[in-house]
Structure 1
């Protein structure tokens, strides 16, 4: 399980414990891999030392100067980092949901805005290059509402909407209501 601390260093005690070497040793290994690309560094740690993806990523990214996996502290920070049209649509999506369900908390998780009901994630959204992805966390809800999104691309866990999607407040609210009931 990933530590709640988003710093790369939060993984270091687990790396030392699991692989039996101090971080000084692992930094020396990374120094030797300095000229390699990210995928090669990850593969080397996984194949030669049995690192998990999370531990390999933490070590590689720390060695490359990234000390935290957190890119956005707030939803406002997230919205500033995406195209204005996407930000406008996503803000409308979250506003439509929170107007009906004000107790849902808007948080940043996995570097994107998510709605939580207590400790449970209910809904998330993210901006891709040419579309916005929305994701009800409950797969039954996604399956149930797929027909309502027939004109869009429905993936395994997400729905791809155009950046300028005319927000269907009632549909989103029904999805959230179904998610909360489950």
Structure 2
């Protein structure tokens, strides 16, 4: 599902970095459904949003919703990522904090297990 989106990225380095994140998520959370909505690759669990990504010239934006951003605010800062209330940014040259991604995704899966809407 994400392959079509990845093919739209002209920069091979950017495409490979985002592909590594999406592939990692699929391998660690195989029950999550990969989709593209609003031109953004994302993962759903029982129809509810878990995490999404967008790309810019400077970075990958990681959007796990506000509740997860609040829960992991300090960890995001410690990883060296810039953040807003809705997302944090991984610059193309930054290392990926796999532990942080795993914690955020696991938190959203558990926190949203009874959620029936797309967003919180």
Q: TM-score, normalised by structure 2?
A: 0.81
Matched, 1:180 2:112: no
Structure 1 contact 97–169 (Cα < 8 Å) conserved: no
Written as runs of structure 1 = structure 2, the 5 A alignment for 1:67-146 is 74-82=1-9, 83-137=11-65, 139-146=66-73
Instruction: Name the SS of the counterpart of 1:179 in structure 2.
Output: helix
Among candidates 152, 159, 163, match of residue 88 of structure 2? 159
1: CA distance, partners of 2:93 / 2:33? 24
2: CA distance, partners of 1:164 / 1:91? 15
Structure 1 contact 89–167 (Cα < 8 Å) conserved: no
Matched, 1:169 2:98: yes
1: CA distance, partners of 2:13 / 2:93? 7
Structure 1 contact 86–163 (Cα < 8 Å) conserved: yes
For the aligned residue pairs, the C-alpha RMSD in angstroms reads 1.4
Could you report, residue by residue, the CA deviation over 1:114-153 in whole angstroms, capped at 9, with x for unpaired residues? 101011010000111211100113x221111121221221
Instruction: Name the SS of the counterpart of 2:103 in structure 1.
Output: helix
Report how many residues are paired: 108
Higher relative contact order (CA 8 A, sep 6+): 2
Higher strand fraction (1 or 2): 2
Deviation at 1:80, TM superposition (A): 1.6
Off by >4 Å, runs of 4+ in structure 1:
none
Deviation at 1:164, TM superposition (A): 3.1
Instruction: Name the SS of the counterpart of 1:108 in structure 2.
Output: strand
Q: TM-score, normalised by structure 1?
A: 0.55
Q: Which runs of 5+ in 2 are unaligned?
A: 112-120
1: CA distance, partners of 2:6 / 2:93? 15
Structure 1 contact 113–126 (Cα < 8 Å) conserved: yes
Structure 2 contact 50–109 (Cα < 8 Å) conserved: yes
